[in-house]
Amino acid sequence: MKQVFALIAGALLSFAASAQGFDHSHAAFTALLKKHVVVIDGGKSSKVKYVELKKEQPQLKAYLDSLSKVSAAEFNGWSKPQRMAFLINAYNGYTLELILQNYPVKSIKDIGGVFDNRWKRKFFKLLGEDSFLDKVEHETLRKPGAYNEVRVHYAVNCASIGCPALREEAFTADKLGAQLEEQAVRFLSDRSRNRFANGKLEVSNIFNWFKEDWAAGYTGFDGKTAPIKSREEYFARYAKQLSDSAADQAAIASGKASISHLDYDWNLNGAN
């Protein structure tokens, strides 16, 4: 009888450990981000205290190791918001790790070279495979039909001043929609990178490099966004973020404003 009870107790403990599984709150990553990401300009931008984060690189590595332990089968059993939050956090976390591995550095583009592209360097494992940053972003997050979410461009961070702000918390499934929308509003409100001036829209080069994403009819990871069919139509939705002038907002809302692209600042988003 004692053996039966022991077996039952062991099974229950095993079930509890299995049920607990992966921490979808990404609490360990949030703790690091809250400590080392400095939000500036009313939340429109952010910088990273890399010198201080370097001292806690083991903690970052422990979090990233927890991501690497997730199998493809486990990942595929999660909800779409859980999968997307996981991938965004993985991209941002491994980008921070890449910077720390090469710190001090003036720009992420100074890492590697012609035959060692920093975005194609296989320096981590994810979902059971050797992986790289471009695979996470372009082959997974941006894969047509996977998430159909243009706001991912405001969520993944390339450790550069020109990039949308690195969020001061991890992305989580339960808040994903609100987090993505806040990132969109923050970035499009940043007049140093997106604005209506000189009678036209002057926007980040992100809208040039990935313009096909704004013409694909995407409805967002939850399918609740009105289909996005063009950049002009998209900017019309955020006219109030792009200008304080009612006349300018009307011009943007008309969908007829011409678009030009601003130079991208690849300098490191480091805090002094």
- Residue 179 in domain: yes
DSSP assignment of the chain: -HHHHHHHHHHHHHHHHHHH-S-TT-HHHHHHHHHHEEEEGGGTEEEE-HHHHHHTHHHHHHHHHHHHT--HHHHHTS-HHHHHHHHHHHHHHHHHHHHHHH-S-SBGGGSEETTEETTT---EEETTEEE-HHHHIIIIISSTTT---GGGGGTS--SBTTSPPPPSS---GGGHHHHHHHHHHHHHT-TTTSEEETTEEEE-THHHHTGGGGGS-B--TTS-SPPB--HHHHHHHTHHHH-S-HHHHHHHHTT---EEEPPP--BB-B--
Q: What is the average per-residue pLDDT within 154-180?
A: 98
- Residue 136 in domain: yes
- Residue 84 in domain: yes
Give percent of the chain above pLDDT 90: 90
CB 96 within 8 A of CB 48: yes
pTM for the full predicted model: 0.92
For residue 20, the model assigns a pLDDT of 61
User: Which domain does 42 fall in, by range?
Assistant: 23-190
- Residue 260 in domain: no
pLDDT tens digits, 175-229: 999 999 999 999 999 999 999 999 999 999 999 999 999 999 999 999 999 999 9
For residue 10, the model assigns a pLDDT of 35
- Residue 140 in domain: yes
pLDDT tens digits, 27-45: 999 999 999 999 999 999 9
- Residue 14 in domain: no
- Residue 214 in domain: no
Question: pLDDT-derived band of residue 21, with 50, 70 and 90 as boundaries?
Answer: confident
Q: Looking at the 3D structure of the chain, how many domains does it have?
A: 1
Give percent of the chain above pLDDT 70: 93
- Residue 5 in domain: no
